[in-house]
Structure 1
């Protein structure tokens, strides 16, 4: 495994890409995107290259690419792109990926952030979270961000600056979600597992076919690749996924969705919960897991609603849940609805 592969795995395992278009990240404005649109920055995967594909403006590129600025001569000392994060959050890492931008990558980049309820404008106060730093062409360029742990800011927007111009294939903003609980109505059922509410997929037994975070993404899965799917076991199982809930809460309703999984859905599942101050789980073997839903049948390509099957006391609170699937297979989405419980 290369160093960049290790870093990608590290950031994807410990954090969420707060800027991803899958969770609502959006490019709002840029100085120039003559050759390639700014929206490409937040797409999934890494940029691709098609050798003989051109547009009327020039070579088609899978990323954001500005025209040559010629420095101060035309009033653009550098190019920039403003991005609204899909989830406000604390930022711990950045990936400025110049994949396939070999002769047209920027020389250096910087990143600023702000907190704004509205779309940033000329009066917005930006704070630098990454000072001007060199980047390599045709490469992932990782930058660690070290926020003040005691007063870490939950940013809402970032601005990527590239000097003097050029192209970036993808831009990842890795961090932890910070939810404003005042946005919820008293008594409202909250999907405590949802990634947009601050839920976090901590650990899985296997994710051979697809990523663990898919389980708690918004919306229904678009295809079989947009879920959590394990390889075939040759023992009774189960495979499992541990989710840190967005907040300590009880469980009132659960949805298990096997959308698109027709020949490879799990036969049965259980759901368990625990209370823990730590996220340092291994397989959860030494954790006091309490039953929430006992072993229950699942069906292909179906959204399953569970209410009466919940055996946990409706007042009992959990900080983490573990979904166990027997013996293996694929689940598109899991929703865990409940009420936030505040410690007295």
Structure 2
């Protein structure tokens, strides 16, 4: 368990988020507050005088007081299968009604879990603090699709965040089909950027188009200093780059003047820095406001394979999404 102040998993993505397709499938009891609240994207809130027919309104999952032996549970489907690094069992605003302890089990299943599912414990039963962020390391490096959050003996949990790295489902792809190597659900992740003052670099590789200007990667207005802002993304696997989409959706008065794309191949477990020996993939191109920009003929890297890409954004501003389509190198 980590302290309440530290956030040890900032470099990892929340595999249970609704944005990736996460769902809460079932639970033992959500009498006071619905199980679906566990994966709401917003931070939990407390409304002092808000009540329902069942009691105090709470922004989380809350079961009734248990008067029999046992414990409560909720089953979640992750938005994509992945290796989990750690959790935040967030009990914010559950002061006199948080569980005493939790544990977390996992499985890998093509279908929804049932009574025959074999669960593996990945967080052993341990105390959690009320009205707190409870950061807990994962005890397994397996690849999981579903979780069961156990609450001992009962009570309320505001949010569950499941931090980790998506693992590509290679069975989904047809032979010879290009893959978005920079897509979060395929296992890509941003590792570093020059600046993300207004919005997170993780947004750049999320599914779908951005919903508003906050749902992209946006840097502050720079006054001098370096030539451009930049972001480094670890690709889903080693591969060639064949076509690229740069989407400036919703960025109208703050889209970048242009961008360029570079690549590098690094040994497993190593990440390149800003000044590594980057190879050009697409030379500098102009961008326009609030639009998707498509590049195929401009790709100059041929059959070179890359593990990481670096997007340079001139001079600053916001990009909503980046798609990097190519072919995985043969293992």
Give yes or no for TM over 0.5: yes
Match of 2:104 among 106, 111, 132: 111
| Cα distance in 1, alignment partners of residues 5 and 192 from structure 2 | 18
Match of 2:261 among 264, 271, 274: 271
Answering whether residue 316 of structure 2 is matched by residue 331 of structure 1, we say: no
Answering whether residue 18 of structure 2 is matched by residue 28 of structure 1, we say: no
| Cα distance in 1, alignment partners of residues 3 and 98 from structure 2 | 21
Instruction: Identify unmatched segments of 5+ residues in structure 1.
Output: none
Which residue of 2 is the match for residue 95 of structure 1?
88
Deviation at 1:6, TM superposition (A): 3.0
Match of 1:239 among 229, 240, 246: 229
Deviation at 1:341, TM superposition (A): 1.0
CA contact (8 A) 1:203 1:281 kept: no
Answering whether residue 10 of structure 2 is matched by residue 12 of structure 1, we say: yes
Match of 2:125 among 132, 137, 147: 132
Q: 1:283 to 1:234 in 2, by over 3 A?
A: farther
Deviation at 1:45, TM superposition (A): 3.6
Deviation at 1:243, TM superposition (A): 0.4
CA contact (8 A) 2:39 2:160 kept: yes
Which residue of 1 is the match for residue 305 of structure 2?
317
Answering whether residue 278 of structure 2 is matched by residue 289 of structure 1, we say: yes
| Cα distance in 2, alignment partners of residues 182 and 115 from structure 1 | 14
Answering whether residue 260 of structure 2 is matched by residue 262 of structure 1, we say: no
Q: CA RMSD in A?
A: 1.5
* 1:131-150 mapped onto 2 (5 Å cutoff): 131-147=124-140
Deviation at 1:3, TM superposition (A): 4.9
Q: What SS does the corresponding residue of 1:40 show, helix, strand or coil?
A: helix
| Cα distance in 2, alignment partners of residues 21 and 35 from structure 1 | 22
Instruction: Identify unmatched segments of 5+ residues in structure 2.
Output: none
CA contact (8 A) 2:91 2:159 kept: yes
Which residue of 2 is the match for residue 342 of structure 1?
330
* 1:148-163 mapped onto 2 (5 Å cutoff): 152-163=141-152
Q: What SS does the corresponding residue of 1:138 show, helix, strand or coil?
A: coil
| Cα distance in 2, alignment partners of residues 251 and 35 from structure 1 | 51
Which residue of 2 is the match for residue 219 of structure 1?
208
* TM-score scaled by length of structure 2: 0.96
Q: What SS does the corresponding residue of 2:36 show, helix, strand or coil?
A: helix
* CA displacement 1:91-150 (0-9 Å, x = unmatched): 221110001111111111111111111110000011111111111100011111243xxx
- More helix, by proportion: 1
| Cα distance in 2, alignment partners of residues 92 and 226 from structure 1 | 24
